Structure 1
Amino acid sequence: MKKKPITMDIINSCSEHYRADKNNKVYSDAVMRNGLVEVSLNNDSIRSMHFDFSHEIEVGRVTAQKKTARCWMFAALNAVRYSISHSLRMREVDFELSQNYTYFWDKLEKSNLFLENIIETMDRKLSDHEVAGLLKDPQSDCGQWDMFAKLIEKYGVVPLYAMPETQSGTDSKIINEIVNEKLRQGAKELRDMNRDGKSMEEIEEQKESILLDMYNIICHFLGEPPKTFDFEYWDLDGVFHRDQDITPLEFYHKYSKVKPIDYISIINFPTEDKPFGNTYSLKYLGSVVDDEPIKYLNLDIEVLRQAAIAQIKDGEQVVFGCDVGKMSHRELGILDTNLYNYETVLNTKFNMTKEERLMYRGTSLTHVMTFTGVNIVDGKPNRWKIQNSWGEAEGKKGFYIMSDEWFDEYVFKVIINKKHLSKEILKQYEKAPTILSPWDQVGPLF
């Protein structure tokens, strides 16, 4: 079918349609002068989104991921941090775990996974869409709870003072450029060896040599992770504690009440190709190479809601993933489907459902935070308190607030302790996952 261009008749019809409603000119002038956000901001929404909650956890101050995409890591570490400080009754309100330590191992593990994926696909052409996808983005800052879980089970965690943030922890652009450049170079070396008929043993030895180089490079940006450290703190009774020469893994097992084996990832992707009650994974997804695939159980949004409420009531925050840019105001710290009067101001309709937005790539999981509170009225939630990782300048000292309607539309994942889930749900989670395309909507890493 021949493509049709825009004609003057079409342009004239568009102009007539615009001028037929006098309100269009009024709103256009306002938007051009002040921007759509300020013109369409709904003050009724702002008044209803106040920071009072019937169930709330005092989790300490908000952290800042700065110019990196480590929200998933910050959110997960916030959950572990609270479990440690709360159980030990620590006096330090500023106690924090080292994101830089976890970041180091994430970089190294992702480098290894990339090289393993290159070896797996080295018989394919560079134009193969999966090979091209691997080479386009060998590794990044992005991730998910399940990747974090594998990292801390293997490497443990350390307090912030044991491995402080570095310049690349505030702005990761250069470290990612350098690491990815070296990984692409490594990919070429491995593929060239395969083309030249080298043995698999020789190729694997070269991969290990590349990892030596990667470790060296990452150390230059982030420092070398400590093998042991002294854990020191004051408790609320004024007693000083010291645990000397403890390893990061020993520290994690001894002090963290959050253990990944106790949690599962529940998602809400209400599309026809992903029936509820089944588990899903993505090809090439992960960081740590092992035999356990990362998987998610897809369930109705009401299951996610009730599980999150149960966990908050039990005194534990909830790590969750969402599309944070939709119907949100960063400075105010508000997430609400009624926050903007877009339809009125623009004289149009936005009527796609959550399923339709997913199918047509209009929404995806873009950010990870934690729920630290919920307000229950007559047995139902109407707003949620959120601990973000964008510093304390926005929202209420860095905390955000979400309407329950926003939860329905833009929350896609919650990390839930198994004790808050039914036997039926846990049985469903044991199903072998359906392996999806690397570019499926379930898969964006943030």
Structure 2
Amino acid sequence: MLALKAENISKQYRLGQVGTGTLSHDLNRFWYKVRGKEDPYLKIGEANDRSTKGDSEYVWSLRDINFEIEQGDAVGIIGRNGAGKSTLLKLLSKVTKPTTGKIYTNGRIASLLEVGTGFHPEMTGRENVFLNGAILGMTRKEIKRKFDEIVAFSGVERYIDTPVKRYSSGMYVRLAFAVAAHLESEILIVDEVLAVGDAEFQKKCLGKMNDVTKGEGRTILFVSHNMAAVKQLCTSGILLKNGQVAHRGDINSVLENYIINELSPNSEFRYIEDLNKKAQIRKVKVYNNNGVETTEFGHSDDINLDISFINREVKGGIRVNIAVLDKFENVIFVTRKVFEEKNENNFTIKIEGGKLIPNTYMLSVAIDTPAVELYDIIKGGIQLNIIETGHENFLTGDTENGIITPPVLWI
């Protein structure tokens, strides 16, 4: 049975304006409509590519989206920032209307699109549970039956009679998620808001969403930049690029497509100065023992990293963290080095050959202090491809996670 169907849906915005922008444009649209002609502004919009300037004042946030989702499916929607993921969820949640196309739904929808969606800041947590439930189409009897379970899951029982305007963002999202997940809607739509919660709560949420799909047969649409969470929860996926569907299929094929075609395979990070950052990474370059910049290494090849950063304001020690992640963003290993106060630093590290099994990895570099105040991070911008050379030996070490005793040499 179908839970959701999107049929040629598109969403157009006029840059710098709310709605269609001007009275003259609205009148022009009306004039074309009464004459039975197509909206003239549907012909002039440009694709939602934020990397190019463009000439039109109209932009397509989404364009010609088609898909069907079966009841009980857990679907991950992934893509770069600005690809149209949140806009798609807003259309499916009926927060906004599509410019063209139709959306068919079978059942009630509970959506969590941003922290505190549907909450009134002056009302208490208790009152907001009933308000939010009513917005989702639940009866008071249904809400009362689930109330104790909602409060217990959220972990904010002590503050349930406190106005939510005094809640932290973490408390907000805990209660909002608990309401959306526990009330008896057939479709649950969750945006990246779970990133606000701590690691323990994120794990708890993923467990609940697993129960919702596998145990209760409800449908979930999940947007996240955490590829490991998407892989764990979802069975199928939709990859968006510049407002269009770039790939649709089982979750493994969608993630592979995203990693190979969307994440930058560059061997060097491109620095853009940001004077608002107290410390900033200026260069991350990857090269082999011959000095050739590359992202592809044989199993036995050394991987050399040339890194530089600038410290503008941080006093005392500052540290650089280098992590290798697998294609689902699970950390394989991390190493770090502490630097004394100095405006500019440049250093090289070497990851010895033979330590990473053939696979695709991503490099993450971050600057913070021992008190764990983060100043800058590069994640997923550089890809490492380890290929088989015919001399691999995986008899020792943790090959399941892709690493065998990873020594890192600082130079």
Normalising TM by the smaller chain, what interval? under 0.3
TM-score (structure 1 length as normaliser) = 0.20
**Structure possessing the higher relative contact order (Cα contacts under 8 Å, 6 or more residues apart):** 1
Whose strand fraction is larger, Structure 1's or Structure 2's? 2
TM-score (structure 2 length as normaliser) = 0.21
Whose helix fraction is larger, Structure 1's or Structure 2's? 1
